[in-house]
Structure 1
Amino acid sequence: MGNLAVSYAGAGKVELIDTPYPEFELKDGPGVHPANIGRQVHHGVILKTIATNICGSDQHMVRGRTTAPEGLVLGHEITGEVVEVGRDVEFLKVGDVVSVPFNISCGRCRNCKTGQTGICLNVNPDRPGSAYGYVDMGGWVGGQAEYVLVPYADWNALKFPDRDQAMEKILDLTMLSDIFPTGFHGAVGAGVTVGSTVYVAGAGPVGIAAATSAQLLGAAVVIVGDLNEDRLAQARAMGCETVNVALGDPADQIEQILGVPEVDCAIDAVGFEARGHGHGAATEQPATVLNSIMEITRAGGSLGIPGLYVTGDPGAVDEAAKVGSLSMRFGLGWAKSHTFVTGQCPVMKYHRGLMNAILNDKVSIAKNVNATAISLKDAPKGYAEFDSGVAKKFVLDPHGLIGA
């Protein structure tokens, strides 16, 4: 049996390729760490992919802004049906529909045992933390494919209680693998609580998920900043205030909204491809958002930083940024006693609670991010549209199950 998949084909390009059907063993391939080749995965399951989403993190690679090798199978946002169960799996059965955290974690190491599943010590020989279909993350094959292998499945996979209910809400539930928990982690890291005033930098899908999460946590006012008017309109449609940072410093616009030029909490949902504000909006300035949110967050406040920052960016604006060194005003953050919460979201910490919020109609994340289902064969078109800045979250439907 074959396995059609989406792969990175060089800067600005993705293509559909035929790949082998998964086995319970890691094979050699683009991006696979040599120490992981031949790794036995009898604790895994093979999923028939129901939904797998195009993520802004994928776009960083596709733009050629990482050291990702050509041929890498993409995709770390995975929801699927179990079709094969490994020898050592006890609790999952064929036919179960599950959400898969984008972090791969073993459930056995020191970090996993304390809930830090984003920095598992056993799944990536290079560094703590791993993900499907992502550069420098151990080489686990991505899920933008018809079928995918999920290791440590009893630990990693979140089983939905009822298949029919799950399929009815699949466009919401597919967001549990990454962007909804990531946005929620940003809001939690920023200390959002009842009555908070919150600034979210970035109105892409993660920014909208962070804004949704801030509302869910009881924020009094959520302000979303971006350059893209279509995305800002989407934020307003879900009840947020907005600022267009192309018009100038966010502080002035925030003061018009709140009466003061600062917020209680701020979230960076942009990451290392940030652009300048005001007249500098057309130029890339990777520390812009970090510096901006330090300026507008009150003394003693917290900054949630789910936006991606990398240690290798060959397309960076200067030599320092190519290795992740940015011109941050860290002294300002120190002077204001800010707390910084960074790194991969530990999805497992939040995904069950957010699943229950979805299943019980407490949140409409798919509507907020404008979830749009397309076929696997339309993935190249979806990547191109997403890169143009459309206010959509593209959900790939490899088997036509969402439409059905």
Structure 2
Amino acid sequence: MTGNKAVAYKEPGKVELIDIDYPSFDLKDGPGVNPANVGRSVPHGVILKTVATNICGSDQHMVRGRTTAPPNLVLGHEITGEVVEVGPGVEFIKEGDICSVPFNIACGRCRNCKERKTGICLNVNPDRPGSAYGYVDMGGWVGGQANYVLVPYADWNLLKFPDKDQALEKILDLAMLSDIFPTGFHGAVSAGVGVGSTVYVAGAGPVGLAAATSAHLLGAAVVIVGDLNGDRLAKARSFGCETVDLTMGGPAEQIEQILGVPEVDCGVDAVGFEARGHGHDAKEAPATVLNSLMEITAAGGALGIPGLYVTGDPGGVDEAAKKGALSLSLGTGWAKSLSFTTGQCPVMKYNRQLMMAILHDKVSIAKNVNAKAITLEEAPQGYAEFDAGAATKYVLNPNGYLS
């Protein structure tokens, strides 16, 4: 059988390339696999030869030891691939198709899927609504930072690119459709971004830059990005964003210098639970982003919160944070009648439209997030550089499709 190598979490701060089984059309026991999923038959699935699979900030949370991820968990939920085998229950997807894989696994049959809430499918994770490839507590579906990966419910989950040659020409852009582009777009949409909006995006990592890109695409008048990392802020400025340097203090005063008022119409949290405070020596303070967004978002506005928050964080700054309980100024949000949207992005709600924007040259998401292709063997170095704050979106190239 064809060999298969994959990037696996080993221990806090360490990932390693390991040998794993070639995928089959049933779920086998392994690190992180829910016992109720072992032996589950997947006749509706396909096996993909991976074209591109990205390192995500959500992966970094696990690699830093900030979750309960077990050793040897195969990572990778941002997957683009070519179909090499189809299960007997697959009707429309064919061998040779190149497809984007939404990071949320969805059955297409449950109530939530039928209501387009594919981030909280009821049938793919025995523990809770919602699932993803290669992620802790998400059912144990094997991750895609590998040569080959199984995708269930293929007719439902896969977004087929209409032209193979065109897709390969724009593959670094299209590789962003599995997660960060729809996630950033969802953050902007749920924050109410529209024509003429003023927007503050907290965080200039890849999801924050994708949210800023999305705000421009949605017609925002001014997009402001805040971060502690100067290189990432420079990347935001490169495609027309204003920036707030949080090493200089909180965002309100700097926003006022840009807009004339210390508030924006819409706020996006692209940071999540490992947030730090403001100033040169900022320490971890996980409620900082949410509280500052409530402060600077205009009354009646909305917050889009695609940044990841968890219910179990072994490295939390206090006992409350270890359970995901943060000291939020909810009274501020209530007094200002702010709306909040949290949770996994329902990728399928947006990915086809964003694909069309890419294919017809309406957006350059790979450029904006500084996508860089590296080999599977270079993954540990990519993880280390990303963790150190590199202003780069690392795209793994396991099978040589990427130039």
Shorter chain as normaliser: what TM range? over 0.9
1:73 and 1:311 mapped to 2: Cα distance? Answer: 21
Query: What amino acid does structure 2 have at the position aligned with 1:221?
Result: V
2:37 pairs with 1:36: yes
2:76 pairs with 1:88: no
Deviation string 1:220-275 (CA, Å, 9 cap, x unpaired) is 00000000000000000010000011101200000000000000000000000000
2:325 and 2:190 mapped to 1: Cα distance? Answer: 22
2:255 and 2:368 mapped to 1: Cα distance? Answer: 22
Aligned residue for 1:305?
305
1:263 and 1:282 mapped to 2: Cα distance? Answer: 24
Deviation string 1:53-79 (CA, Å, 9 cap, x unpaired) is 000000000000000000000000000
After superposition, residues 201-212 of structure 1 pair within 5 angstroms as: 201-212=202-213
Deviation string 1:296-337 (CA, Å, 9 cap, x unpaired) is 000000000000000000000000000100000011000000
Query: What amino acid does structure 2 have at the position aligned with 1:332?
Result: T
Aligned residue for 1:126?
127
1:36 and 1:311 mapped to 2: Cα distance? Answer: 22
Aligned residue for 2:253?
252
After superposition, residues 247-286 of structure 1 pair within 5 angstroms as: 247-278=248-279, 281-286=281-286
SS class of match (1:9) = strand
Query: What amino acid does structure 1 have at the position aligned with 2:346?
Result: P
1:282 and 1:249 mapped to 2: Cα distance? Answer: 11
Deviation string 1:112-159 (CA, Å, 9 cap, x unpaired) is 000000000000000000000000000000000000000000000000
1:33 and 1:300 mapped to 2: Cα distance? Answer: 42
SS class of match (2:352) = helix
2:382 and 2:251 mapped to 1: Cα distance? Answer: 31
Residue 2 of structure 1, CA deviation: 1.7
Aligned residue for 1:395?
395
SS class of match (2:340) = strand
Query: What amino acid does structure 1 have at the position aligned with 2:375?
Result: S
Aligned residue for 2:288?
288
Query: What amino acid does structure 1 have at the position aligned with 2:12?
Result: A
Task: Identify unmatched segments of 5+ residues in structure 2.
Answer: none
TM-score computed with the length of structure 1 as normaliser: 0.99
Residue 278 of structure 1, CA deviation: 2.3
Aligned residue for 2:104?
103
SS class of match (1:148) = strand
1:26 and 1:6 mapped to 2: Cα distance? Answer: 19
Aligned residue for 1:49?
50
Aligned residue for 2:354?
354
CA RMSD of aligned residues (A): 0.5
1:54 and 1:261 mapped to 2: Cα distance? Answer: 35
2:180 pairs with 1:193: no
Residue 282 of structure 1, CA deviation: 2.5
Deviation string 1:159-203 (CA, Å, 9 cap, x unpaired) is 000000000000000000000000000000100000000000000
- Point out 4+ residue stretches in structure 1 off by more than 2 angstroms: none
2:322 pairs with 1:326: no
Query: What amino acid does structure 2 have at the position aligned with 1:5?
Result: A
Residue 400 of structure 1, CA deviation: 1.1
Deviation string 1:8-40 (CA, Å, 9 cap, x unpaired) is 000000000000000000000000000000000
Task: Identify unmatched segments of 5+ residues in structure 1.
Answer: none
1:80 and 1:247 mapped to 2: Cα distance? Answer: 43
Aligned residue for 1:66?
67
Query: What amino acid does structure 1 have at the position aligned with 2:317?
Result: V
1:236 and 1:208 mapped to 2: Cα distance? Answer: 10
Identical-residue share of aligned pairs (%): 80
2:217 pairs with 1:216: yes
Aligned residue for 1:368?
368
Aligned residue for 2:235?
234
1:325 and 1:274 mapped to 2: Cα distance? Answer: 14
SS class of match (1:232) = helix
1:285 and 1:240 mapped to 2: Cα distance? Answer: 26
Query: What amino acid does structure 2 have at the position aligned with 1:231?
Result: R
2:371 and 2:199 mapped to 1: Cα distance? Answer: 24
Aligned residue for 2:24?
23
Query: What amino acid does structure 2 have at the position aligned with 1:97?
Result: I
Aligned residues, how many?
Answer: 402
1:334 and 1:81 mapped to 2: Cα distance? Answer: 48
After superposition, residues 110-149 of structure 1 pair within 5 angstroms as: 110-149=111-150
SS class of match (1:212) = helix
SS class of match (1:278) = coil
2:282 and 2:19 mapped to 1: Cα distance? Answer: 39
